[in-house]
């Protein structure tokens, strides 16, 4: 292992362990009552942990009973008093255990989510589990008062404020502007509702039903009938379920959604769980194909908590994109021009990530549809991909 780099889990003695971080360094400055410990590489360590550098610094202060100070502009993080590197490294291990590692799989690939009840949840991108932290720890108060920043939302806001093109190639689109303005509030509500899906009592009480006219339901059922009959509904699911017939759990779920769409998002999740496929990535593909109507852009916000709950990894995101691809490319080709708005809707509720969308948009695939249809869908997505690039460029210019 290269000098100065250690495993994030220092109890893992594996030189090929993929999650690594810089070795925490310390520097003692001052003397007497003014002595203090400076952590010169705290930003680098925190970046490896996907946490703000203020969090571990404040954690040290809480554990040592010492005052801390931060100068983020000049990248200085200080703990009052003289503390040796070994002690702070041990405390960093404790911080990682309490506020970084997934409680279920011990993977550090987690994000912190603050619910509307001001509880802090570790959202694991590796296994999909959401586990709480010990809210008795003093650091939790600091985290709630200084929540983690979401760079995706800031990009969307900056692009809108600077008059960047909307994903439909138009400036000043009222609908897009309204969506950007309410993004923070919407995202907080969605994440809170998604976290509550973990509680069975909440599942029973929530009502997310979305009524549609009998004509619309009939039209959608007819449109998907062919794919259900040939089990093409679960295209790309062979790696998860070998029974690619009309009795596979995916086909059962697809038919159930078509027949019971007015049951609402909570019942859809419970049905997937009953079939044993709630956590499988191909499930979100099936839901994307069968749940939506021609009014998909508006419906995404309505069903966002369901997707926030179920889309827990990059593989899930790719399956969701595959389902969208089949939905617009096979059953509703008239909606292909709406692809930018569809992607924007999922992006703004934190279901699809920028890098996953970019990779999908630049690689034609015949996994879910034929190659020509795949090209058409990705061609239609170009305005949104361009918008993502311009939003990123705007953010870089602002930082400079």
User: Helix, strand or coil for residue 389?
Assistant: helix
What's the confidence (pLDDT) of residue 219?
Answer: 53
| β-pair partners for 165 | none
∠ CA 120-282-242 to the nearest 5 degrees? 130
DSSP letters spanning 322-339: HHHHHIIIII-GGGGGGH
What's the confidence (pLDDT) of residue 203?
Answer: 42
With 0-12 / 13-18 / 19 or more C-beta atoms within 10 angstroms meaning exposed / middle / buried, residue 200 is exposed
Q: Please give the distance of CA 248 from its chain centroid, rounded to a whole number.
A: 28
With 0-12 / 13-18 / 19 or more C-beta atoms within 10 angstroms meaning exposed / middle / buried, residue 172 is exposed
**8 A C-beta contact, residue 373 and residue 335:** no
What φ, ψ does residue 32 adopt, rounded to 5°?
A: 60, -135
Whole-structure pTM value: 0.46
Sequence-distant (≥ 6) Cβ neighbours of residue 237 within 8 angstroms: 244, 248, 250, 280, 282, 285, 286
The rounded distance, in Å, linking the Cα atoms of 36 and 25 is 14
What's the confidence (pLDDT) of residue 205?
Answer: 44
Q: Which stretches of the chain drop beneath a pLDDT of 50?
A: 1-3, 151-166, 168-183, 198-212, 223-232, 236-244
Comparing CA positions, the residue from 111, 106, 108, 136 lying closest to residue 121 is 111
Instruction: Considering only the C-alpha atoms of the chain, give the largest distance between any 2 of them, rounded to a whole number of Å.
Output: 80
Q: Between the CA atoms of 313, 315, 318 and 320, what dihedral angle is there, to the nearest 10 degrees? A: -60
Comparing CA positions, the residue from 164, 163, 110 lying closest to residue 133 is 110
Q: Which helix (H) or strand (E) element contains residue 297?
A: helix 296-310
CB atoms within 10 A of CB 9: 20
User: Helix, strand or coil for residue 69?
Assistant: strand
Q: For 117, which DSSP code?
A: T
Q: Which residue has the tokens 């093409």?
A: 232
Domains with residue ranges and CATH for the chain:
5-145 (3.30.30.170), 152-399 (1.25.40.180)
**8 A C-beta contact, residue 284 and residue 310:** yes
What's the confidence (pLDDT) of residue 325?
Answer: 92
Both tokens of 224, joined, read 């998907």
**8 A C-beta contact, residue 368 and residue 324:** no
Comparing CA positions, the residue from 283, 312, 271 lying closest to residue 102 is 312
Instruction: Bin 365: left if φ > 0, else alpha if -120 < ψ < 50, else beta.
Output: beta
């Amino acid at each position: 292992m290269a000098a100065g780099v250690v495993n994030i889990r220092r109890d893992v003695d594996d030189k090929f362990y993929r999650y690594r971080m810089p070795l925490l360094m310390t520097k003692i400055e001052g003397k007497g009552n003014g002595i203090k410990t400076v952590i010169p590489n705290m930003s680098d360590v925190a970046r490896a942990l996907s946490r703000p550098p203020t969090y571990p610094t404040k954690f040290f202060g809480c554990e040592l009973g010492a005052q801390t100070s931060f100068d983020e502009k000049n990248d200085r993080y200080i703990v009052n008093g003289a503390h040796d590197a070994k002690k702070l490294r041990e405390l960093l291990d404790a911080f990682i255990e309490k506020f970084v590692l997934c409680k279920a799989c011990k993977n550090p690939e987690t994000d912190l989510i603050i619910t509307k009840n001001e509880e802090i949840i570790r959202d694991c991108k590796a296994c999909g589990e959401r586990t709480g932290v010990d809210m008795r720890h003093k650091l939790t108060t600091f985290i709630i008062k200084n929540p983690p920043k979401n760079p995706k939302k800031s990009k969307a806001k900056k692009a809108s404020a600077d008059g960047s093109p909307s994903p439909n190639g138009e400036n000043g689109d009222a609908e897009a502007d309204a969506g950007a303005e309410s993004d923070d509030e919407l995202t907080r509500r969605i994440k809170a509702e998604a976290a509550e899906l973990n509680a069975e009592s909440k599942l029973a009480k929530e009502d997310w039903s979305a009524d549609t006219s009998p004509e619309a339901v009939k039209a959608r059922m007819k449109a998907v009938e062919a794919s259900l009959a040939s089990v093409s509904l679960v295209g790309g699911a062979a790696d998860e379920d070998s029974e690619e017939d009309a009795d596979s759990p995916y086909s059962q779920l697809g038919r159930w959604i078509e027949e019971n769409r007015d049951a609402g998002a909570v019942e859809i999740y419970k049905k997937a769980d009953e079939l044993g496929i709630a956590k499988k990535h191909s499930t979100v593909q099936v839901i994307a194909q069968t749940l939506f109507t021609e009014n998909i852009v508006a419906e995404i916000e309505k069903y966002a908590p369901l997707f926030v709950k179920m889309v827990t990894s990059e593989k899930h995101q790719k399956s969701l994109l595959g389902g969208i691809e089949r939905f617009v490319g096979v059953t509703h080709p008239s909606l292909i021009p709406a692809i930018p708005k569809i992607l924007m809707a999922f992006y703004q509720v934190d279901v699809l990530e920028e890098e996953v969308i970019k990779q999908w948009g630049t690689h034609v695939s015949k996994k879910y549809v034929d190659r020509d249809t795949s090209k058409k869908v990705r061609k239609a997505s170009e305005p949104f991909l361009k918008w993502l690039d311009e939003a990123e460029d705007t953010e870089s210019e602002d930082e400079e």
